C-alpha cells in the first residue's frame, strides 16, 4: 500500500527511524530531489492517532515542500521529518541526537529545520550529530528562529491577495480572522495590527489568544466559531485539513490567506468549493514560503538583507499565479501546481544537459 501511494505521487524515499534506548520513533520522507537536496522541517506531535496517520502527514508535508521550494525559486527538493511523540526533558538530548544520526545517514539528500514542536535548541542538538540541519541558533552562524521571516512572507502574500480581490493592497480597515496564534501568527498579527487591521483570533491555547487580545486589541472567538465570523480574509495558521466539507459552507469571507500547511482536506474538491463561493484562495505553500526561503539562505552563508529581499519576491510569484488562474480559468491551486511543476521540468532538462 505504501509503495503504491509512493508511486502514484512520485515519492522517492521513506525512512523509518526507531531508537529503543530513547524511545524515538520518526519518519523521514523525501518526496522529490529534482531541483536539489530535500529541505523540510522536523515536526513533533504527541497526538497522532496511529502510525498510518503519521506516515500520511509526513508524506503530505514532504510533497508540499517540493512545490513550496520549487515555486519559491529555490534549488531544493521537498522532504519532511515527523516524530511520534516528544521526549521527556531528561531524555531530550539523547533523543534528538539519535534523530540527528539517522538524518546524517542520508548524506545530504535531506536537510531538516524547525517546524511545529521544535525549536532552535532542538536544532542545536541535532546539529551535534549532522551538518544537514538549518535553523540553529544565530551563534552557529544561522538565521535562528524563522518565525518572524515566515510571518513577513505571509504579510507580503496577504497584501497581494488583497490587491487581487479588492483591487487595493492596503489592509487598513480590513478584518482578518486568524485561526491559531502561535509564534508565526503572533508575528503576523503584530504586522497586521500596525497596518490598522481589525483582528479576530482564536486558539485552543487560551493564553495565546489572550496575548493577542491584550497586545493587538483583537476580538476573541471560540475555536469552532472562527469559520463563521464575518471578515474580509480568513488566515488559517494552525494545523492542516481545516478547509473541508463542514467548514467551507460556514465561511463568510472574501479570501483565504494563511500559514498552515495542507489547509485543504482534499485539494481538488475543496479548492473548487472555495471557487464556487467566490472566495479567493492563496495557495498555502506560496503564502508560507518565507520561512523556507529564509532557512535556505543559510546554505549560502546567511545574509538577513538578502533573505528578506528574496521573501519579498513572494508578491510577484503570487501575482503570477493569480494571473495564470484568471487567464486559464483554473483555481489558484491548479495554477500554482503547474507553475511549480513547470520549473521542475525546466530545471530537470538543464540538469540533463550538464551531465
Is there a contact between 39 and 79 (Cβ–Cβ < 8 Å)? Answer: yes
For residue 19, the tally of other CB atoms under 10 A from its CB is 16
- Name residues whose C-beta falls within 8 Å of residue 16's C-beta, 6 or more positions apart in sequence: 26, 27
Whether 80 is a known active-site residue: answer yes
Q: Which residue has the cell 480559468?
A: 329
Q: How far does Cα 196 stand from its chain's mean position?
A: 26
- For residues 131 and 43, give the distance between their C-alpha atoms in angstroms, rounded to a whole number: 19
- The residue annotated as part of the active site, out of 80, 159, 165, 174, is 80
Phi, psi of 282 (to 5 degrees): -90, 115
Q: Which residue has the cell 514532504?
A: 62
Q: Give the Cα-Cα-Cα angle 210, 41, 116 (nearest 5 degrees).
A: 20
Is there a contact between 152 and 308 (Cβ–Cβ < 8 Å)? Answer: yes
Phi, psi of 27 (to 5 degrees): -125, 125
Is there a contact between 116 and 45 (Cβ–Cβ < 8 Å)? Answer: yes
Any idea which residues carry the catalytic annotation? 80
Amino acid at each position: 500500500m505504501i509503495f503504491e501511494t509512493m508511486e502514484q505521487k512520485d515519492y522517492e524515499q521513506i525512512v523509518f527511524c526507531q531508537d529503543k534506548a530513547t524511545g524515538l520513533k520518526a519518519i523521514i520522507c523525501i518526496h522529490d530531489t529534482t531541483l536539489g537536496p530535500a529541505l523540510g522541517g522536523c515536526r513533533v506531535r504527541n497526538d497522532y492517532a496511529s502510525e498510518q496517520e503519521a506516515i500520511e502527514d509526513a508524506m503530505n508535508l514532504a510533497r508540499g515542500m517540493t512545490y513550496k521550494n520549487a515555486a519559491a525559486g529555490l534549488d531544493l527538493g521537498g522532504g519532511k521529518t515527523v516524530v511520534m511523540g516528544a521526549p521527556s526533558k531528561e531524555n531530550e538530548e539523547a533523543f534528538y541526537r539519535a534523530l540527528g544520526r539517522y538524518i546524517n545517514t542520508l548524506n545530504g539528500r535531506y536537510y531538516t529545520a524547525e517546524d511545529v514542536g521544535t525549536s532552535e535548541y532542538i536544532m542545536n542538538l541535532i546539529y551535534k550529530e549532522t551538518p544537514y540541519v538549518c535553523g540553529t541558533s544565530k551563534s552557529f552562524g544561522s538565521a535562528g528562529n524563522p518565525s518572524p521571516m515566515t510571518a513577513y512572507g505571509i504579510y507580503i502574500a496577504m497584501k497581494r491577495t488583497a490587491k487581487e480581490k479588492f483591487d487595493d493592497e492596503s489592509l487598513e480597515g480590513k478584518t482578518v480572522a486568524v485561526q491559531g496564534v502561535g509564534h508565526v501568527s503572533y508575528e503576523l498579527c503584530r504586522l497586521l495590527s500596525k497596518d490598522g487591521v481589525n483582528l479576530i483570533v482564536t486558539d485552543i491555547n487560551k493564553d495565546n489568544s489572550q496575548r493577542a487580545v491584550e497586545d493587538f486589541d483583537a476580538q476573541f472567538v471560540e475555536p469552532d466559531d472562527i469559520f463563521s465570523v464575518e471578515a474580509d480574509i480568513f488566515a488559517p495558521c494552525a494545523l492542516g485539513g481545516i478547509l473541508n466539507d463542514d467548514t467551507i459552507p460556514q465561511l463568510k469571507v472574501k479570501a483565504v490567506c494563511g500559514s498552515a500547511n495542507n489547509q485543504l482536506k482534499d485539494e481538488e474538491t475543496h479548492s473548487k468549493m472555495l471557487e464556487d463561493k467566490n472566495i479567493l484562495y492563496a495557495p498555502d505553500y506560496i503564502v508560507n514560503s518565507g520561512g523556507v526561503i529564509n532557512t535556505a539562505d543559510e546554505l549560502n552563508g546567511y545574509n538577513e538583507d538578502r533573505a528578506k529581499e528574496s521573501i519579498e519576491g513572494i508578491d510577484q510569484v503570487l501575482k503570477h499565479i493569480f494571473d495564470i488562474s484568471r487567464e486559464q480559468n483554473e483555481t489558484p491551486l491548479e495554477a500554482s501546481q503547474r507553475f511549480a511543476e513547470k520549473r521542475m521540468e525546466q530545471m530537470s532538462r538543464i540538469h540533463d544537459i550538464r551531465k
